[in-house]
Structure 1
């Protein structure tokens, strides 16, 4: 199935000219849509730059060729824009949501998040999706008239709901923001947010297999029984029987991305034809997701994740490093709580007068914004020793 070339903008696409607007009114731009401005603001943010030194799976000192949180994000952007273009959606909004989806991640990937959530258990917990919203609405300090980036309603909505409706007790940052802005937490998000979410799945399934193979955590033979992956490996072996290992691995990833994108485009077109939404709000009110894998590809994608969980994310080599990294986060949180004077002046300002939960949230904001290397440097500064992550 060919997906090259943009369709005319679809009825179900978000429209920047019909945006629900920003929290703080601003003049419109003559040359850029509201969603293009959102994407540009995220690219120029401090939080986005810091993603370059935040772990995806392997920490930055493992090597220069493994994915970081930033390169992962850029791969998600590429997939999201490809899907949005093929489906007649707003590419700029899809890009903005892909750019923003991991802004709230603390250092050391999910290990850092688990530890920080445990440290914050008595104070409302910590959730990286909610923290992404907090970054773009409060923590970025660039503009004289407001905190945050003052993004469009649709971008805020997609950051919060890219995985679907939000029910039950809200994470702290979402609960606080809900008092300022109604993001329709009960509904599905617009199609661009759904595209960004499935692009995240496609990108990390493919690049984690690639990184795992190159790191020697498993071999091509060991993934040859996986659905979809096995067929691709067999096709490459027939077409290029003498292909060197590096190119073979690259070809696996390239073909996987193509197959997964084509499947999502086909399945999404089928669902949209059946639902026939006449607007982006009708997508939101639909009873389920409109952007999805077909049933066979959804099963294959689950099998890839099921393989990666024990063979990569829980591999002893990765676990040893992440457990040590988690202890860095725990030690820093404990030290900052006991001794706020250990914080930099700009983060220490006003913290003494706060209640304990407010002090803890301020410290969590500071910790979540740290890169891996900054956290390691802070640990060495405060404890006069360097943690061993290898």
Structure 2
């Protein structure tokens, strides 16, 4: 059966190319090649032992950054196929979306941002860009992965424009300005920061929301942070649970949880497909560029599901992300990050040889960024090992 192709799909043959020109690599398209480079990168492998919500040693069945990323990629590819978009680009962006995350999840990111305040702060989206344009050093002809313009654009702008038409930062960057990494790269390789990204990038972003909305329910239940009964009054999750209990009243806890979670996933995907098709019919985008210039997201939840997800996120924030057990461990994890940063900044000899190239510079901020890059790339396990080596204690358990 011939696959539908939307008129506003990103066509690889129309790609704006790579910063460093390269010959093509048939039979792969440029976007498929981007996906493959991301999968084979060191940063992607390290996601295996980076925290999603629980630190890596809490159990083998909780999600890590890697398993979450694979789940996001599966959802993104399915949505892209149903909408007639380029599946390889959507998958590449889904696989790359968490590359810039620190060890210990958002706790590690918040601590690094605080420590880096005098030196430009820390932002995981900007860090993802640094990884794929500078920090991965595998290829002879360039630093980074030399990804296509469309993949880099989507990586930076998957949540929407970063600046307005006059160049003023918007959204999350309105108060503190754009991260230096994004400014520097955009000056050399214009990523059109005032427009939306492609439909494929929007698919990758909403697939991230779909995945964690559903799977954090699963992990929270598995950890005993809340119970199935607690979900009864939560929109979407409670509705799906009621369906399962009505259809299968005697299947047991494990199957009930799985059936509920997969229905939460399916309901969100169905809503995105319906709402996106409705918006496409209303606005008639005829090209990928039309999507960028639409002035609002094309790929979206309906208003009703947005509200249900907002309430679900409030529930998860209260009962899971801010649970005393999680908060206590993450407070100790922030101490690990802080101790390592202060130790490396105070004594460059503690860094591995390959990370000392800027250790004798007079530019303190440049060296601080070097230390930040090193710590941000750590897995939970490696950060804990280094802390124990330097300080002879494991602060997560003492």
Indicate whether the TM-score tops 0.5. yes
Q: Does 1:112 align with 2:93?
A: no
Q: Does 1:160 align with 2:165?
A: no
Shift of 1:135: 0.3
Match of 1:221 in 2: 229
Q: Does 1:356 align with 2:370?
A: no
Shift of 1:317: 0.2
Match of 2:20 among 20, 24, 39: 24
Q: Does 1:268 align with 2:276?
A: yes
CA distance in 1, matches of 2:258, 2:69: 19
Alignment of 1:44-123 (within 5 A): 44-123=40-119
Alignment of 1:318-329 (within 5 A): 318-329=326-337
Match of 1:254 in 2: 262
CA distance in 1, matches of 2:311, 2:271: 16
Match of 1:377 in 2: 385
Q: Does 1:335 align with 2:333?
A: no
Are the aligned partners of 1:125 and 1:172 in contact in 2 as well (CA < 8 Å)? no
Q: Does 1:141 align with 2:140?
A: no
CA distance in 2, matches of 1:356, 1:7: 54
CA distance in 1, matches of 2:8, 2:2: 15
CA distance in 2, matches of 1:227, 1:303: 7
Match of 1:313 in 2: 321
Shift of 1:74: 0.4
Judge which range, 45-54 or 234-243, deviates more.
234-243
Alignment partner of 2:233: what SS?
coil
CA distance in 2, matches of 1:212, 1:285: 39
Match of 1:151 in 2: 147
Deviations 1:62-83 (A, max 9, x none): 0000000000000100110111
CA distance in 2, matches of 1:374, 1:6: 47
CA distance in 2, matches of 1:181, 1:193: 18
Alignment partner of 2:188: what SS?
coil
Judge which range, 342-351 or 362-371, deviates more.
342-351
CA distance in 2, matches of 1:389, 1:377: 13
Alignment partner of 1:224: what SS?
helix
Shift of 1:172: 2.1
CA distance in 2, matches of 1:216, 1:200: 24
Count the aligned residue pairs.
386
Are the aligned partners of 1:106 and 1:367 in contact in 2 as well (CA < 8 Å)? yes
TM-score (norm 1): 0.97
Are the aligned partners of 1:107 and 1:371 in contact in 2 as well (CA < 8 Å)? yes
Match of 2:172 in 1: none
CA distance in 2, matches of 1:242, 1:209: 21
Are the aligned partners of 2:102 and 2:379 in contact in 1 as well (CA < 8 Å)? yes
Match of 2:241 in 1: 233
Deviations 1:339-373 (A, max 9, x none): 11100000013421251000001011001000000
Unaligned runs of 5+ residues in structure 1 are none
Shift of 1:388: 2.3
Shift of 1:229: 1.5
Structure 1 runs of 4+ with >6 Å offset: none
CA distance in 1, matches of 2:160, 2:267: 24
RMSD of equivalent CA atoms: 1.1
TM-score (norm 2): 0.95
Alignment of 1:129-208 (within 5 A): 129-167=125-163, 168=169, 169-208=177-216
Match of 1:280 in 2: 288
Shift of 1:230: 1.6
CA distance in 2, matches of 1:292, 1:228: 17
Are the aligned partners of 2:358 and 2:366 in contact in 1 as well (CA < 8 Å)? no
Match of 2:306 in 1: 298
CA distance in 2, matches of 1:17, 1:265: 26
Unaligned runs of 5+ residues in structure 2 are 164-168, 170-176
